[in-house]
Amino acid sequence: MLTTDRVAGGALVLLALVVFWESRRLPLGSLRNPGPAYMPVALAAVLLCFGALLVVLAGKAPKLSTVSWTEWRHAVAIFGVCAFAALALERLGFRTTVALSLAFLLLGVERRGLIFSAVFAIAFAAVAFLLFDTLLRVPLPRGPFGI
């Protein structure tokens, strides 16, 4: 039976195996004199044990099919906006990136009006930039033409 704990435990086991594989490039050292790979390998072994225990003892956990994913469309859109922000922040600058991200979320995801979305997005980006960059002197990236 596919339960939440079984899925999570399986993922942790997989991650532990990946860490074992990736650690082979680093010197392991010895028990008495640990090298840079020693601690990651030890932790991966611990994670492997916990993951395996979760898989074995997962019988009473809720079934995976009972987990509700009703908000997945919103989650994917927000995730996409964050990825866009990470890609665009240093290319387009803070103000343009944030204004575009907010406009997309308000207009495209939340179905707010065009004018409201545009005004809110631009005003928010401008005020946040003024507050943090200009007043609090936290350097934020500028895009083409210093915008």
Partner 1 sequence: MAETLQNLALGFSIALSPVILWYAFVGCVVGTLVGVLPGVGPLAGISLLLPATFGLDATRAIVMLAGIYYGAMYGGSTTSILMRIPGEAASVMTCIDGYAMARKGRAGAALAIAAVGSYVAGTVSVVALMLLAPPLASFALRFGPPEYFALLLLGLLVLAYMSSGSMLKALAMAALGLLLGMIGIDQMTGYFRFAYGVVELGDGIGVVPVAVGLFGLAEILATAGLAAPPQVIKPKLRELLPTRREWRESAAPIGRGTVLGFLIGIVPGSAHIIASFVSYAVERKLAKRPQEFGQGAVAGVAGPESANNAATSGAFVPMLALGVPSGPIPAVMLAAMMVHGVSPGPLLIEQQPELFWGFIASMYVGNVVLLILNLPLVGVFVNLLRVPYPILYPSILAFCILGVYAVNGSVVDVWIMLMMGGLGYLLRKLDFETAPIVLGVVLAPMLEMALRQSLAMSDGQYSIFVARPISATLLGVGLILITLGLRPLVTRGLDWRARLALAEKGDEHP
Supply angle C-alpha 95, 99, 104, rounded to 5. Answer: 155
One residue of 10, 17, 40, 122 binding partner 1 per CB under 8 A: 40
Position 92 contacts partner 1 (CB under 8 A): no
Buried b (16+ CB within 10 A) or exposed e, 61-75: beeeeeeeeeeeeee
Q: Is residue 44 within the footprint of partner 1 (CB under 8 A)?
A: yes
- Asked if 20 touches partner 1 (CB under 8 A), the answer is no
Measured distance CA(112)–CA(66) in Å, rounded: 32
Tell me whether residue 69 or residue 145 sits nearer to partner 1 (CB atom): 69
Radius of gyration of the chain (CA): 23
- What SS3 class is residue 29? strand
Binding site for partner 1 (CB under 8 A): 4-5, 7-9, 12, 15, 19, 22, 26-27, 30-37, 39-40, 43-44, 46-47, 50-51, 53-54, 57, 61-62, 67, 69-75, 78-79, 81-83, 85-87, 89-90, 94, 98, 101-102, 105-106, 110, 112, 120, 124-125, 128, 132, 136-141
